[in-house]
């Protein structure tokens, strides 16, 4: 297996440059060399925000990455208005907090996608910009994870204000700590890479704590709807598929040049994240509809 993968690694030559002004892997600086299996389609270092943004008008190996999350951000930016106009107002028992938690989620996703699009668009500006917006890209992931947890806690502990407040504070404080690690220059060095990965993984897994607690208190029949657990399973499936494709760099590692512009693993990962975010939105809608169907949910 290892030998086969080594043989599939693309070889670079001085003729890889294209007449379109794009560069090949070996022609760009090290800070742009993220995936050795993406051989061509690299933009020259721009040193200009305007020029980097202008590159969105032409095809390069970041075009799909930028547009996929720009479009995703636009969709989730308007989803709260759709939710209010067609779902929220139809429930007589709806509360203002139902709209608040939906906005927290949708604009958490929007923030994540905007930061991601900014990173991929401005990546070729300079090494300093690449490092800065890479941090913002990670920060956006944290905001999405935090925003996704708030509605789950809100509906999962609908009848226990103390537990709901406690878990909201726990997930918020943990997200803030991970934000500090993400933005701190001290923890940006490679020697802290494992620690950063552990904290991110720990924050992602921390949601299991309040999910398990909710199941112990109220059981599967109630929490499968309030915590959208059936939807959460599909969210996990799409996120894991996307992460696996991203980590293994499939399909570009199999066919050099074929997926440099369209179809690379990072682009597929973006699509699976968008699908997972939409599924989670549908889960929140189901939870809202279930708990607001009657005025006395907590007394049933």
Residue 17: what pLDDT? Answer: 44
Confidence of residue 54 (pLDDT cuts 50, 70, 90): very high
Asked, for residue 288, whether it belongs to a domain, the answer is yes
Q: Is residue 26 included in any domain, yes or no?
A: no
| CATH number, domain with residue 289 | 1.20.1070
Instruction: List CB contacts of 53: < 8 A, sequence separation 6 or more.
Output: 121, 122
pLDDT at 213: 95
The domain total for the chain is 1
Q: Is 120 annotated as a binding residue?
A: yes
Q: Is residue 156 part of a domain?
A: yes
Q: Which residue has the higher pLDDT, 255 or 297?
A: 255
Predicted confidence (pLDDT) per residue in 82-92, tens digit: 999 999 999 99
CA dihedral angle for residue 77, residue 80, residue 86, residue 89, rounded to 10 degrees: -160
Annotated binding-site residue? 270: yes
Contact assessment for residue 260 and residue 61, using Cβ atoms and an 8 Å cutoff: yes
Is 52 domain-assigned? no
Asked if residues 83 and 285 have their Cβ atoms less than 8 Å apart, the reply is yes
In a domain, 294, yes or no: yes
Task: Judge whether 184 lies within some domain.
Answer: yes
The range of the structural domain enclosing residue 221 comes to 58-299
Classify residue 107: in a domain, yes or no. Answer: yes
Q: Binning pLDDT at 50, 70 and 90, where does residue 299 land?
A: low
In a domain, 241, yes or no: yes
What mean pLDDT do residues 102-126 have?
Answer: 98
Mean pLDDT over 252-265 rounds to 94
Q: Report the SS3 class of residue 23.
A: strand
Question: By the 8 A CB rule, do 133 and 122 touch?
Answer: yes
Q: Is 125 annotated as a binding residue?
A: no
* 61 within 8 A of 263, measured Cβ to Cβ: no
pLDDT digit string, tens, across residues 154-172: 999 999 999 999 999 999 9
């Amino acid at each position: 297996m290892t030998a086969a993968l080594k043989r599939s690694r693309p070889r670079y030559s001085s003729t890889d440059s294209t007449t379109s002004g794009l560069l090949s892997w070996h022609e760009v600086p090290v800070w742009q060399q993220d995936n050795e299996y993406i051989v061509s389609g690299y933009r020259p270092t721009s040193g200009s925000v305007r020029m980097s943004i202008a590159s969105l008008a032409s095809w390069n190996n970041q075009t799909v990455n930028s547009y996929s999350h720009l479009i995703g951000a636009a969709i989730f930016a308007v989803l709260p208005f759709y939710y209010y106009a067609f779902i929220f107002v139809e429930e007589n028992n709806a509360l203002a907090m139902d709209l608040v938690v939906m906005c927290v989620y949708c604009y958490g996703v929007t923030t994540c996608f905007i930061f991601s699009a900014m990173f991929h668009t401005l990546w070729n500006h300079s090494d300093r910009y690449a490092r800065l917006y890479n941090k913002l890209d990670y920060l956006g992931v944290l905001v999405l994870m935090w925003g996704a947890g708030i509605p789950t806690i809100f509906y999962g502990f609908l009848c226990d204000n103390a537990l709901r407040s406690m878990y909201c504070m726990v997930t918020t404080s943990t997200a803030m700590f991970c934000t500090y690690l993400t933005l701190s220059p001290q923890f940006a060095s490679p020697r802290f890479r494992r620690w950063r990965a552990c904290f991110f993984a720990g924050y992602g897994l921390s949601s299991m704590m309040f999910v398990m607690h909710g199941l112990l208190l109220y059981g599967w029949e109630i929490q499968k709807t309030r915590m959208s657990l059936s939807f959460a399973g599909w969210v996990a499936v799409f996120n894991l598929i996307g992460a696996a494709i991203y980590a293994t760099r499939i399909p570009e590692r199999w066919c050099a040049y074929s997926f440099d512009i369209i179809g690379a693993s990072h682009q597929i990962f973006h699509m699976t994240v968008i699908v997972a975010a939409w599924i989670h939105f549908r889960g929140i809608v189901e939870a809202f509809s279930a708990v607001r169907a009657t005025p006395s949910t907590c007394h049933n």
